[in-house]
Amino acid sequence: MNRALGNLPKGWGGFTHDWSSDQRAFKGMPWNKAMMWIFLLSDTFIFMCVLISYMTGRASTAVSWPNPSVVFGLEVFGTSVPLLLIAIMTFVLISSSGTMAIAVKYGYEKNRKLCAIFLLLTAVCGATFVGMQAFEWTKLILHEGIRPWGNPFGAEQFGAFFFMITGFHGTHVTIGVIFLLIMARKTWRGDFDTGRKGFFTSVTSNYRAIEIMGLYWHFVDLVWVFIFAFFYLW
């Protein structure tokens, strides 16, 4: 044992050498599930960089930052309600995590009809979120005059940060909705039961694909919690 450890290169070289030769760390884990975890880890770094840039830009500006309660307020019967639309969007997206978890449960049980139904419900929640985000963008651009290069509420970089961060996350949600619909169709047709070859690929799949889809969707929901906290509540 000590002799084997002594043959390892020193420093980071030894670390990578040890993991690259390890046959137990990912033993039993399907390659597609491992690749999803690696993708989510890399995506986490990207969102971290974006949010840290936002916090740095906001903390370093000498101009007053726009008040989220004013900028994102929604007028209802002549009264401005702060963050009403954002609260509904957040509720819808967080609720979709519950429907996704139920879909994964029925996938484990190979109950294809209920699994497909809850996948479809998750996709509907995601599409609703994207639709409300499009409404929010339209309101801010056409009625409030906010642009990536400036806005009438204060610091000019506010618009650039807002459209970049929410747009990047909205793209993730949109991609997730597309694949949820694909998975719902495949599940309803019984592709996972018959071993029919997968969409976009010649490799057959099974209900584990639902769990992997769930990992992505829960990640998207979790990222929104941080965006909501840093962008809308701060």
| Distances 141 to 85, 96, 144 between C-alpha atoms, Å | 16, 28, 6
Domain residue ranges of the chain, discontinuous segments joined by +: 30-233
Bridge partners (DSSP) of residue 226 are: none
Q: Please state, in angstroms and rounded to a whole number, the distance separating the CA atoms of residues 67 and 232.
A: 9
Q: Please state, in angstroms and rounded to a whole number, the distance separating the CA atoms of residues 104 and 94.
A: 16
pLDDT, one tens digit per residue, over 59-68 is 888 888 888 8
As a whole-number percent, the residues of the chain with pLDDT over 90 amount to: 46
Query: Can you name the CATH fold of 30-233?
Result: Four Helix Bundle (Hemerythrin (Met), subunit A) (1.20.120)
Give, as one character, the DSSP assignment of residue 142.
Answer: I
Which two tokens mark 86?
């954002």
Instruction: Provide CB contacts within 8 A for 111, sequence distance 6+.
Output: none
pLDDT by residue, tens only, the chain of 234 residues: 444 445 656 666 666 665 555 555 556 667 788 889 999 999 999 999 999 999 998 888 888 888 888 788 777 776 777 788 899 999 999 999 999 999 999 998 989 899 999 999 999 999 999 999 999 999 888 888 888 887 888 788 888 898 999 999 999 999 999 999 999 998 888 888 777 766 655 556 778 889 999 999 999 999 999 999 888 887
| φ, ψ of residue 197 in degrees (nearest 5) | -65, 150
Give, as one character, the DSSP assignment of residue 64.
Answer: P
Q: Please state, in angstroms and rounded to a whole number, the distance separating the CA atoms of residues 129 and 100.
A: 15
Do 150 and 159 contact (CB within 8 A), yes or no? yes
